[in-house]
Amino acid sequence: MRTLLCICCLVMLHHNSNAQWIQTTGPECGFAYDFETVGQYIFVSSEGNGVFRSSNGGNTWTNASIGLPKSSIQNLAVIGTTIFAGTIDGVYKSDNNGLNWIPANSGISGISIISFATDGADLYAGSEGYGIFVTDDNGITWTQKNNGLGDLYIKEIEINSAGMYVGTYNGTYRSTTNGNVWNLCANNVVLTIATAFVSIGTTVYAADDNSYIYVTNDTGATWTQIGSGLPWSIGVEDLLESAGTLFAAIAIGIYTSADFGITWIPTNNSIIGNVFNWQLFKFNGKLFTGTFGGGIYSTDNNGLTWTPSNIGYINSFVSDLVIHQNQLFAATDGGGIFTSTNQGNTWSSSNSGIVGFYISEMLSSGSELFCVASGSMGNKIFRSINNGASWTDLQLAIMWNPRTIFQHSGALYVGTANMGVYKSVDGGLTWSNVSTGITPNTIVNDFASIGNYLFAATYDGVYVTTNNGVSWTAASNGLTTTYIQSLTVNGNSLFAGSSSGGVFKSTNNGTNWINVNNGVLPIFNLTVETLGSSIFAGYHNGLIFISNDDGLTWNNKDLPTTNFSSLCFAVDGNTIYAGTTYGGVFKDSTFTSGFSSPENSVMQITAYPNPASDYIELSISQKIIPHVTMKSAI
């Protein structure tokens, strides 16, 4: 008797919501804003990752942020053994060397605190738009002291034995009554924003946002402009005196003066170029500077040479990840490029020859590696032919602000912020503009290709060319937003990640789009990886979404913390890497792709021969063991 089989399979699928993400050991760099010390401990505040602490003079760092909001913490202060942190939600404090933090916010909750100064047991806190607050009981209560202030944005506070000074967006104010009454300094000589102060005895030095230095010896009644040698219009972020030498931290480095501020010279040749320097600090004969992205540098010879002090300081903003020649490369915002040959267990810097250290994107092309960089020396594209050991500037004088780089049909394409698309057919030696059809001054964010179709994601929708950039046409029908930030391809499907509309999909080369944002929040970055057919989409607060069915459904594969946003992904074998904001690189080596997303699915299984007389064979495409219910019909 021949039996006709109807086979219905109820498949119990494994969800990836319990993904085993772990944080790698880097890259070790990031944003370092302010320093303070309690006993043997040095503290440094970061961007988006709380406070770090060192117990060995800055040789190594560990995160010490339990109880702190993970927002930008730009200021620290110490009274006795209590350390205070200024946040966007008032003041927090720790009485146990940073092991945990509690709010000290009575009356100032929800107010952004951006500056501190201490005077004995009194702590003064400067705010954004609410003036100055003072506490004399370790933050239990606060009193506002704004009498006479014409501007309530308090950028800096300085206190010495002769009086108090505050820098605002509209000049410098002084008080000789412990802040009870403020007066605008004579002639308002300190221009615009007073960005930094330092006192030597009762002599006060003040810097403004144009790199002018002023000095007063009469409690601010009169000021004298000094400061020959400082680059104009850069802005001084901090001033420090050490062993008779004045130090100034500015956007392009550290300057010193040996004649009390009259003349200045640069002394930071060993700090990676273009790193914005925020704060200066001294501890046990050692000087530290915090940078904007490059982490922490220190000197033990009064600024002659500076060395990185970033071991354990994982605050890196990872903007791109690529696998190149069996190595993992991470591009960072401010710290340059890092590489790992052992799945992120250790990292090393790959910055030789790079002038711009804000790296937005990388491209692996055969034996060559390209990166898009920016900094105070301009916006550039660099190429490496030796696995990142050294980099060469492609000298793109005609380009302004390149944002993305892509390879298609043997040519290189660069998307820019306001000059459309450039193309090179000789490996980047020469370039030509190929933007016909793209709206002028449109920001080009990303590229993707399917066959001879090349697509560009812009803030004016999606464009497509089928003639290698000779002409472009709009391909945005069905998109509900024109702010397209990323593109990716899965087989013949094209996906677009937007800033507000979520994820869109096209199966006809951009002719039409449909929204596939089923359960997915608005996406800032979307990418597809080579592990099976999985599509990963990253969002803020540690949220990562994954689709294994070409965007029909999505499930969470979130990071173990909500503190960071996932910006980019890379896959090497069975290991997935996620680059984050302010948390470095995470990895998961346990994921297997190719499953359908729902927990219970009906799977079509091929049985042959059918009809059958004695046996059958089952053909199942997914690599799973299903629960199979077999029913026969005669």
Question: Using one digit for the tens of pLDDT, what is the confidence trace for 175-187?
Answer: 999 999 998 886 5
The 3-state secondary structure of 279-343 reads EEEEECCEEEEEEEEECEEEECCCCCCCEECCCCCEECCEEEEEEECCEEEEEEECCEEEEECCC
86 burial via Cβ count (<10 Å: 0-12, 13-18, 19+): buried
Give one DSSP letter per residue of 172-185, joined into a string: EEEESSTTSS-EEP
| Cβ proximity of 173 and 186 under 8 Å | no
DSSP state of 510: T
- Strongest mean pLDDT among 209-223, 283-297, 449-463: 449-463
Beta strand pairing call for 314-315 and 29-38: parallel
Question: Average pLDDT of the chain?
Answer: 82
Strand order in the sheet with 132-135: 113-119, 122-127, 132-135, 143-144
The total of other beta-carbon atoms located within 10 Å of residue 366's CB is 10
Mean pLDDT for the stretch of residues 91-97:
95
Reported as a single tens digit per residue, the pLDDT across 584-621 is: 999 988 866 543 333 333 333 334 344 444 443 433 33
What is the rounded distance in angstroms from the CA atom of residue 225 to the CA atom of residue 203? 14
The pLDDT of 28-40, averaged and rounded, is 93
Comparing 203-217, 493-507, 522-536, the range with the smallest average pLDDT is 522-536
From the CA atom positions of the chain, what is the Rg in Å? 29
Q: Which residues, other chains included, contact 255 with Cβ-Cβ below 8 Å and sequence gap of 6+?
A: 229, 230, 247, 248, 264, 265, 266, 267, 268
Residues paired with 450 in a beta bridge: 453
Could you tell me how many helices (H) and strands (E) the chain has, helices first? 0, 62
Does the model's pTM come out above 0.75? Answer: yes
In 3D, which of 585, 30, 561 has the Cα closest to residue 311? 30
d(CA 280, CA 237): 9
Question: Under a CB-based contact definition with an 8 Å cutoff, are residues 143 and 131 in contact?
Answer: no
Question: Buried b vs exposed e over 495-526: b needs ≥16 C-beta within 10 Å?
Answer: bbbbbebbbbbbeebbeebebbbeebeebbbb
Q: What is the pLDDT of residues 543-600, one digit of tens each?
A: 788 888 888 888 877 777 766 777 788 888 888 898 888 899 999 888 665 433 333 3
* First-residue to last-residue Cα distance in the chain: 9
Contact 211, 236 (CB under 8 A): yes
Phi, psi (5° rounding) for residue 362? -130, 160
SS3 186: helix
Residue 629 is predicted with a pLDDT of 28
Measured distance CA(390)–CA(386) in Å, rounded: 7
CA separation, residue 367 to residues 326, 388, 393, 530 (Å): 11, 10, 17, 19
Residue 609: cis peptide before it, omega within 30 degrees of 0: yes
Tokens of 519: 């359960």
SS3 labels along 431-489: CEECCCCCCCCCCEEEEEEECCEEEEEEECEEEEECCCCCCCEECCCCCCCCCEEEEEE
Which residues lie closer than 8 Å to 226 by C-beta, 6 or more apart?
213, 214, 215, 261, 262
**The pLDDT value given to residue 528:** 53
Bridge partners of residue 248, in order along the sequence: 239, 255
How many Cα atoms sit within 13 Å of 337 on the Cβ side? 35
* The amino acid at 369: L
What integer pLDDT is reported at residue 1 of this predicted model? Answer: 33
Mean pLDDT is highest, among 77-91, 227-241, 300-314, 510-524, for 77-91
Query: Which residues are CB-neighbours of 388 under 8 A, at least 6 positions away?
Result: 324, 327, 329, 337, 339, 350, 369
CA distances from 510 to 289, 409, 452, 496, 608 (A): 49, 19, 13, 10, 39
pLDDT reading at 246 higher than 70: yes
More confident residue, 541 or 99: 99
Give 138 or 498, the one with higher predicted confidence: 138
Tokens coding 21: 């993400």
**HSE-up of 444 (CA within 13 Å, CB side)?**
30
> Do 422 and 432 contact (CB within 8 A), yes or no?
yes
Asked whether 252 and 231 are in contact (CB, 8 A), the reply is yes
What are the tens digits of pLDDT across the range 359-396? 889 999 889 999 988 876 677 889 999 999 999 888 77
> How far is the C-alpha of 371 from the C-alpha of 115, rounded, in Å?
37
User: Which two three-digit tokens encode residue 380?
Assistant: 């550039």
Say how far apart CA 574 and CA 548 lie, in whole Å.
Answer: 15
Q: Percent of the chain beyond pLDDT 70?
A: 83
In angstroms, the CA 14 to CA 12 distance is 7
φ, ψ of residue 187 to 5 degrees: the values are: 65, 0
Looking at residue 540, the DSSP 8-state letter turns out to be S
Bridge partners of residue 569, in order along the sequence = 578
State how far Cα 256 lies from the chain centre: 30
- H or E stretch at 245: strand 245-250
Instruction: Please check whether residue 176 is in contact with residue 182, taking contact to mean a CB–CB distance below 8 angstroms.
Output: no
What ranges in 67-219 are assigned the alpha helix state H?
none
From the list 462, 428, 424, 423, the residue with the least C-alpha distance to 442 is: 462
Res 18: pLDDT: 46
Distances (CA, A) of 250 to 73, 238, 312, 535: 19, 7, 25, 43
